[in-house]
A and B are shown apart, each in its own frame.
Chain A
Amino acid sequence: MSTAVDILFNSLVLGGVFLIVAIGLNIIYGLSRVMNLAHGSLYALGAYASVTLMSFGANFFVALIIAPFMVAFIGLVLERTIIAPVRKRSIVYTLILTYGLMFLLDGLIRYVWGNEPKFVKLPLFLQDTLPILGTHYPVYRLATLVIIAATMAGLMLFLGKTRTGITLRAASTIPEMVACLGINMKLVHIGAFVLGCGMAGIAGVVAGPLYSVDPTMGHEMLISSFVVIVIGGLGSLRGAVFAALLIGLVQTLAEFFITDLAMVIVYMLMAVILAFMPRGLLGEGRFE
């Protein structure tokens, strides 16, 4: 019984991390038509940034606040220097560009931090376990759920209640109209990319203590987050939540039952959905 509860919570945690990453990807694509293949690498940068910050003495929570801003800043620089010039060209070029960016950032991570996995030291009170529903569950993981929920709530508030947020949402559905209203599309594009990177950064910091911080974490997260947006449907929030939780569950179960086939099945599912149900399982997305 306790294993089932563990699996359930682990799925929620993993799903939650996928969700934040996938939403970041969705925001960038929905608002600036750029499929950011470097998104996984930015997630990894978030984790590595938090490691470095903490090695300078910052505690976990400080790192949790600062690292995402650092990743967001990197996103700003990237957007202005290399993304913006290519966005107007055909989608093939933006894909190749962000693909190259992925290798650049991953290579950079290896260059700066080396190939060995890093460990994140958590504050003592987070290292404990809490008895819940018949099992002793790590406090940190519960804290993760809280952080993720808070991030989602913050994002919903931002998009729903602030003027900037509402403008961004409008820009994703009717970009031409937004441009007509005199809203600076350049700022929308920048904002989207920065916001998306920030989300990736948060996910990276949160995931650091959960899974290992190593140079391949970006690749793995990228593949998983693609599966999430394909299954959930590009541009659909409900779809992203549903798909993130689903993939979180599938991957947790796969790890538990130790099967190599798991990834192949996941890829096949993604391929089938992409080809036959481009609007995602819930039919709410819009892959063109």
Chain B
Amino acid sequence: MVGKILALGIVVLCLAVFPFVVENRFYVSLINQMLIYGLLAMSLDVLLGYTGLLSFMHNAYLGTGAYMVGLFLLHVAPSSLWITLLVGVMGTIILALPVGWVQVRTGGLAFALLTLAFGMMFFTVAWKWYTVTGGDDGLMGVPHPDISLFGWVLGSTGDPVAIYLLTLVVVLLCFLLTWRIVNSPFGAILEAIRENEDRASFVGINVRRFKLMGWLLACGLAGVSGGLFILWRGYIGPTTMSAFAGAGVLMMVLLGGMGSLWGPFVGAGIFILMQDYISTMTEHWELFVGMVVILLVLFMPRGFAGIGDRLARLGRERQ
């Protein structure tokens, strides 16, 4: 336990110092992106790794968060940061509630297909509702509010370093919060549901209700990632909400390892690096993603976290 806290501390420290050590803003932005998608992937892991529910288009909730924050900044309050983020998260949870209510009546295959159906619905709305969402073009020219705390202005979200640090803090808080929740008695219930939904009912668990709660948690976190996304990029378009992008998030969780909260961050990091290198080299990124997903499922279903586990176990056995 102490080891884990130490490791986390070191990682956070390195990340915090990073933008002051590395001068190239491109890399700062890249890590920023990794943190955002790491958060999204972690939220999918809460759903998939902890509750056992597969979602093909969890990115839809990053999208709703981003669009709502964007629209709020564009049309309502271009300079308020915290309220806007709150709006984005609450709005996402409110949208996710009826969807979740319908979805938790099912599990397994039907649940996954439903996430596809609803995800495609959201995507179609984002794509076609031109007047509100900007359609194909998306939301552009989103203002960059200042980061201010108790009257002190700490920076502008337009500044890559400032938004990076904001993202780091918010993601860290979300990570700690989620860690606490999945290791709580509530988290134990989610695990039981993942292991054996049927049995869970028969030990007295109201499976639907708890699935819904897990769902709202996962979507809320995704909404946070959406808010951070649009603050970072200043833009959101329907492509981010597509089925292919959804597969990407799934791949991040798979790569990093389901059921470990830090794994998805590793997965997001690797995925984004790959995407950066490979999609510039070739337009056959789709083919590559497909191949990697298949190889992962066949040979590394527990992702890097699984390898980490195996190494740890080997280490212990050697003693």
Which residue from B250, B292, B294 sits with its C-beta under 8 Å from A82? B294
Q: Choose one: B112, B121, B250, B283; the contact of A264 (CB below 8 Å).
A: B121
**Residue B177 at the chain A interface, CB threshold 8 Å:** no
- Residue with the greatest number of chain A CB neighbours at <10 A, chosen from B244, B251, B294: B294
Q: Are B286 and A110 in contact (CB under 8 A)?
A: yes
- With A100-B290, A219-B243, A287-B110 known to touch, is A274 a contact of B117 (CB < 8 Å)? yes
Residue A89, interface by CB 8 Å = yes
Number of interface residues of A (CB under 8 A): 41
Residues 285-314 (chain B) with a chain A CB within 8 angstroms = 285-294, 296-298, 301
Contacts A85-B298, A92-B48 given; does A274 touch B113 at CB 8 Å:
yes
Is B148 engaged at the interface, CB distance under 8 Å to the other chain?
A: no
Q: 1/0 per position for B245-276, CB-CB distance to A under 8 A?
A: 00100110010000000000000000000000
Residue of B nearest to A276 (CB): B105
* B-binding segment of A120-128, A240-248, A249-257, A265-273: A265-273
With A91-B108, A287-B110 given, is the CB distance from A96 to B297 under 8 Å?
A: yes
A-B contact count (CB 8 A): 123
Does any Cβ of A come within 8 Å of B201's Cβ? no
Contact present for B294 and A100 (CB under 8 Å): yes
Q: Complex: how many Å from CA A131 to CA B61?
A: 52
Cβ distance A95 to chain B, nearest Cβ, rounded Å: 6
Q: How far is it, in angstroms, between the C-alpha of A271 and the C-alpha of B108 when the chains are bound?
A: 14
Does B54 sit at the interface, judged by CB under 8 A? yes
Given contacts A92-B54, A271-B118, contact A102 B290 (CB under 8 A): yes
CB atoms of B54 and A97 under 8 A apart: no
Using an 8 Å CB-CB cutoff, how does the interface string of A88-109 with B read, 1 for contact, 0 for none? 0101110111011111111110
Residue pair B287, A111 in contact (C-beta under 8 Å): yes
Q: Which residues of B contact A85 (CB under 8 A)?
A: 298
| Bound: A264/B292 CA distance, A | 31
7 residue pairs of the A-B complex, CB under 8 angstroms, read A82-B294, A100-B251, A104-B290, A263-B124, A274-B114, A275-B102, A275-B106
Q: Which residues of B contact A (CB under 8 A)?
A: 48, 52, 54, 56, 102-103, 105-106, 108-110, 112-114, 116-118, 120-121, 124-125, 128, 243-244, 247, 250-251, 254, 283-294, 296-298, 301
